Amino acid sequence: GTVEDTSSGRSYGWVMYYSSNCKIIDSVASDGRHNYLVQGSDNCDIINCTSINDRISGIDVHGVGGTKIRIMGCRVLGGDLKYGNNRSGIRVGNSSHVVADTDVLVKDNLISGFTKSGDSAIDIVGPSSNTIIQGNSIYDCYNGITNTGNNTDRGATTGMGGTITAYEMTTQTIDRVIVRDNTFTNITNKLCRFETGDLASEIVTPAPRSKSVNTIELHDNTAINCFGAFDFDAITKLNATNNTVVAPANTTHNMFTIEKCNNVFLSRNTSRDLSTCIVLDDCLNPKVIGNDFGNTIVGTSGTTSGLVAFDNADAEPIEYISGITTSTVFTGAYIDISTSTIPTITDGAQVQYTTFTAA
């Protein structure tokens, strides 16, 4: 039937409120504000379900302390409906709810058709903690995986337990997101975009409110025929290994664009078709080791220092654009790996070298 009211708290499809050990299986919902919603619940599943043409989110883990929520094997399809600034296939967290969602698994889902500007296949919103995004097929979307930050539709008005309100929660924190074994196809903007910063569009007191992102683990993902990059700005820690870009839709885009991140480890990532694979801007002591970039360049700018760039399979010189301390600048010269120590790389290794030998 026709949806008459799409305002807050209306036009929901399948819902689990404050539930334990419940499941929604093999169901279909369409045209809702949220087609599936789980809030304040424990150990609940949404499995093998279909969401079609949502207005804000197809499947939404809606905050208020939800834990051990699993979204698996679902089809989430966008369409021509959209309400507000940001729409997503699957969303974890709610900026209007103070207590974070924890231990949410988003696995083996097919997400497609979120093509409007600002749309994302998967959106992680603070506060939330320990979210795993694994084995999903994401295609024909504007963005792949993002953190939009605030719920601009509702503002921040919901009080939890009468002790604190979202007005007082000046920072929305996303703590540890694992993104692994996903396939991105035909993404027209960002593959991933996580950032820390002010939420200028939110009109609340006190202001400004901000969003904060801690650890991002990015492993074994593949992007095919996509525009855009894995894009990170001012997050606390980034560990990215074994990611691959194949047949990019635009070879002038980067594989990684990383700004103001002070704990970065990149290893065994592959892309042979991009003009610049990695851009590091204002990052302190990044570790970029053992990647396969073919004939492309590792570029840095801003005030980056202490770059580790051993054995990245670069046929071209490693290029330092500007702002690099003199002890690490080898513009136009190869790093002579024959006389430099090649570290043994293990997952999550934090290796730092301050001097190199130039050929």
Note down pLDDT in tens along the chain; length 359 residues: 444 545 555 567 788 989 999 999 999 998 888 899 898 899 999 999 999 988 888 999 977 778 999 999 999 998 777 655 568 899 998 766 556 788 999 999 999 999 988 899 999 887 788 999 999 999 999 999 998 755 443 333 333 333 334 444 556 788 889 999 999 999 999 999 998 866 544 444 444 456 788 899 999 999 999 998 899 998 889 999 999 999 999 888 889 998 888 788 888 889 888 877 888 888 877 888 778 876 666 666 665 555 555 456 543 333 333 333 333 322 333 333 333 343 343 444 333 333 333 33
> What is the model's pLDDT at position 273?
85
DSSP string over 137-160: EEEEESEEEE---S-TTT-S--EE
> What is the model's pLDDT at position 264?
87
> What is the model's pLDDT at position 79?
78
Helix (H) or strand (E) run with residue 131 in it: strand 128-134
Q: Which two tokens stand for residue 101?
A: 């969602």
How far are the Cα atoms of 1, 51, 291, 299, 326 from residue 319, in angstroms, in the given order? 60, 47, 15, 5, 14
> What is the model's pLDDT at position 217?
94
Q: Is 344 exposed, middle or buried (0-12, 13-18, 19+ CB in 10 A)?
A: exposed
> What is the model's pLDDT at position 278?
82
Residue from 309, 317, 320 nearest 345 by CA: 309
Calculated CA dihedral for residues 106, 107, 113, 116, nearest 10 degrees? 30
Task: Give dist(CA 116, CA 351) in Å, integer.
Answer: 41
Enumerate residues 6+ apart whose C-beta is below 8 A from 228.
187, 188, 189, 190, 191, 253
> What is the model's pLDDT at position 199?
52
Enumerate residues 6+ apart whose C-beta is below 8 A from 313.
291, 292, 293, 294
> What is the model's pLDDT at position 159?
32
Helices (H) and strands (E) in the chain, counts: 0, 34
> Coil, helix or strand for 252?
coil
How far are the Cα atoms of 121, 137, 215, 344 from residue 180, in angstroms, in the given order? 15, 11, 14, 23
